[in-house]
Amino acid sequence: MKKKFCIYSILCLLLTLMPIIPAMLFSTEISVPENPGISENIENTENTISSQILETSENSSALSGQVYHVLDITTNEILEVPVREYLIGAVGAEMPASFEPEALKAQAVAAHTYAERQVLLAASRSDLQGADFSNDPEQYQAFHTQQQLQKLYGDNFKLYYQKISDAVDAVLPEILCYEDEPIIAAFHAISTGKTESAQNVWGSAITYLQSVDSSSDCNAPSYEQDCSYSAEQIQEMLSAAHSGLLLGTDTANWFGEPVCSDAGTILQIPVGTSIFTGQELRSVLRLRSACFTIHYDKKSKTFTFRTKGYGHSVGMSQYGANAMALQGSDYREILAHYYPDTILKTI
């Protein structure tokens, strides 16, 4: 979303061993948004969610109307954005336009579902000033205006805007539901090879946010990436996160043996005199994911964290969705795979 990286056609030639390469050649780039997914601030209990939805569903303007009210965090204004325009801007902000049409359609359904759910929950939030949600990618789904997309796509604007518009138009009335409620349509850029359960990441078990296979993600650009910090930097960041943390004099033993999930996410890890969750440590150290290994170089006094995947790994993997599309799956199959037990509903 803020930073972009592109994988040009030369990289495609290096991926000749991938079974999806014939279709991959039709894409000129593969970039992954910096903000690797939504819904990290998951609601605490499904009972609370259900209660709020039942109380507000009959009065939801978005379910029966044509606009969303979006708080623009740069101007503090509430924008009235037609639903179609919003979905185009959300898909453009969240997924590379070079991805396959079926993947873009899946993203459009996820974006629409996310927006509808936020509308139903907006009344309980005081930070929105009466809006349905904001365009703050740290708190809500990212959204770009047409002008922002034009700047982002440059010379490819006309082609990419039409491609995204076509995908949105194909699925515009559809959202994903579980027990007649819009689901928590979490998604992320690249999984570890398996998506993660909501239980392991956010502490709440969600029927349709369970771990599923996404092994094609292991072939994604920058699936593995290293991030290095000096011991002094590590001490400073960890101490700021945990007041009173004692790391000890033996730098090599600052980090203990982690407890990991089947998908590779670190659930807990001893750090000095404290216990961190993988998600917490990921946030503190600004890592791409909570699936990582740690190597300490005594000579340089440097810690290197090697991460796998990008994002929280819950829900739909964007790279995995594109890989499924390249292999012939349509958006319905993609959504059914990453959000099991949900149904597509026309609103």
Instruction: Output the average pLDDT for the chain.
Output: 85
* Cα 25-27-29 angle, rounded to 5 deg: 120
Instruction: Report the pLDDT averaged over residues 92-102.
Output: 97
The Cα–Cα gap between 279 and 285 comes to 10
**% the chain with pLDDT above 70:** 81
Residue 340 sits at φ, ψ, to 5 deg, of -60, 150
Model pLDDT, residue 37: 54
For the chain, the structural domain boundaries read: 9-39+46-221+313-346, 224-308
Instruction: Report the pLDDT averaged over residues 309-321.
Output: 98
What are the strands of the beta sheet with 259-260, ordered from one edge?
259-260, 266-271, 274-276
Model pLDDT, residue 288: 97
Is pLDDT above 50 for 165? yes
**Pairing assessment for the beta strands 174-178 and 181-182 based on DSSP bridges:** antiparallel
Model's pTM, two decimal places? 0.83
Instruction: Report the pLDDT averaged over residues 94-110.
Output: 98
Question: Which residues, in sequence order, are CB contacts of 179 under 8 Å at separation 6+?
Answer: none
40-54, 159-173, 245-259: which has the minimum mean pLDDT? 40-54
Q: In the 8-state DSSP scheme, what is residue 53?
A: H
Model pLDDT, residue 305: 98
Model pLDDT, residue 123: 74
Is pLDDT above 70 for 316? yes
